[in-house]
């Protein structure tokens, strides 16, 4: 349902994506791993048009992603995003954050949106925090609200941009648990992450990216257990055994 075809992207003179070819099938969980600055996040941000790309083509369900075209709104309501730093709206409660999109973008009825909002908050384990404002919540709770906000759009896929990187270690598990449940329910997910355990257990496929190209890709367990490319081997050794 998501296709990337020879995607190039530069920031000024620095070329961060040098011809990315990839596709994500419906119901698939794809993890993108790789060193910092390799272009992982940029790929996600191009898919829902937060960034433009210079060359190649990205399409979602056959619809070309063009951040300057009106169709981008359509794409964004189908492909939600969860950010590293949560980016909840601090002036609104958890529940208001969740129903913001359904109410004001999709123009759903207030009663229906609120009811589903509460259900979603319960689903991420935060039913009792509906009326709390984001600054009153822990990082892990904020990220779970952000996931509920993404789900409220009833998307066909969700992009996760290092969703646990800004969390205290003991809060990571809660967020990963919610994501694992989503994967089990058949949600299409693209996850940029440094959590190799999550990638191994939950992902169907893993892409290893370095220097703006996909160095290696394959089934999650195979790639993570028996990486073929020396750079993948080197990266995984550093991540898994840092000492």
CA dihedral 116, 187, 55, 67 (to 10 degrees): 0
Q: Does 105 bind other proteins (CB under 8 A)?
A: yes
Judge whether 149 and 88 are in contact, CB under 8 Å: yes
One character per residue 151-190, x = contact with other proteins (rule: CB under 8 A): --x-------------------------------------
Neighbours of 46 (CB within 10 A): 24
- Binding residues among 128-157 for other proteins as defined by CB under 8 A: 135, 149-150, 153
Q: Which segment (99-107, 114-122, 221-229, 232-240) binds other proteins by CB under 8 A?
A: 99-107
Q: Which is nearer to other proteins, 74 or 165 (CB)?
A: 74
- Contact with other proteins (CB under 8 A) among 9, 24, 83, 137: 83
Q: Which is nearer to other proteins, 72 or 239 (CB)?
A: 72
Q: Which two tokens stand for residue 68?
A: 């300057």
Q: Does 100 bind other proteins (CB under 8 A)?
A: yes
CB of 87 vs other proteins, minimal distance in Å? 4
Q: How many residues bind other proteins (CB under 8 A)?
A: 25
Q: Which segment (75-83, 108-116, 118-126, 186-194) binds other proteins by CB under 8 A?
A: 75-83
Neighbours of 239 (CB within 10 A): 15
Judge whether 32 and 189 are in contact, CB under 8 Å: no
By the 10 Å C-beta count (0-12 exposed, 13-18 middle, 19+ buried), 62 is classed as exposed
Q: What angle do CA 23, 29, 35 make, to 5 degrees?
A: 80
- Contact with other proteins (CB under 8 A) among 89, 222, 226, 240: 89
Rg of the Cα atoms in the chain: 18
| In the block, residue with structure tokens 């195979």 | 222
Judge whether 39 and 31 are in contact, CB under 8 Å: no
Strands 157-161 and 63-64: unpaired
Q: Does 88 bind other proteins (CB under 8 A)?
A: yes
CB of 148 vs other proteins, minimal distance in Å? 12
Q: Which segment (77-85, 110-118, 206-214, 215-223) binds other proteins by CB under 8 A?
A: 77-85
Give the separation between CA 214 and CA 190, rounded to whole angstroms: 15
- Contact with other proteins (CB under 8 A) among 87, 119, 123, 154: 87
| In the block, residue with structure tokens 């040098």 | 18
Q: Which residues bind other proteins (CB under 8 A)?
A: 48-50, 73-74, 76-77, 80-81, 83, 85, 87-91, 100-101, 104-106, 135, 149-150, 153
């Amino acid at each position: 349902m998501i296709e990337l075809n020879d995607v190039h992207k530069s920031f000024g003179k620095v070329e961060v994506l040098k011809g990315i070819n990839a596709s994500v099938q419906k119901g698939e969980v794809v993890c993108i791993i790789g060193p910092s600055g390799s272009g992982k996040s940029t790929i996600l941000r191009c898919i829902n048009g937060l960034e433009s790309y210079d060359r190649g083509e990205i399409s979602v369900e056959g619809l070309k992603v063009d951040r300057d075209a009106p169709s981008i709104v359509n794409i964004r309501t189908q492909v939600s995003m969860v950010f590293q730093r949560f980016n909840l709206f601090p002036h609104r409660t958890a529940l208001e954050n969740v129903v913001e999109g359904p109410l004001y973008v999709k123009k759903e009825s207030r009663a229906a949106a609120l009811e589903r909002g509460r259900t979603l908050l319960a689903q991420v384990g935060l039913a009792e925090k509906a009326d709390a404002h984001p600054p009153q919540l822990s990082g892990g709770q904020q990220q779970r609200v952000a996931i509920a906000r993404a789900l409220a759009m009833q998307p066909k896929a969700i992009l996760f941009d290092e969703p646990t990187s800004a969390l205290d270690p003991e809060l990571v598990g809660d967020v990963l648990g919610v994501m694992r449940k989503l994967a089990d329910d058949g949600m299409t997910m693209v996850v940029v992450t440094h959590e190799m355990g999550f990638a191994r257990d939950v992902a169907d496929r893993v892409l290893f990216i370095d220097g703006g190209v996909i160095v290696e890709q394959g089934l999650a367990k195979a790639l993570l257990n028996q990486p073929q490319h020396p750079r993948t081997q080197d990266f995984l050794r550093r991540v898994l055994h840092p000492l």
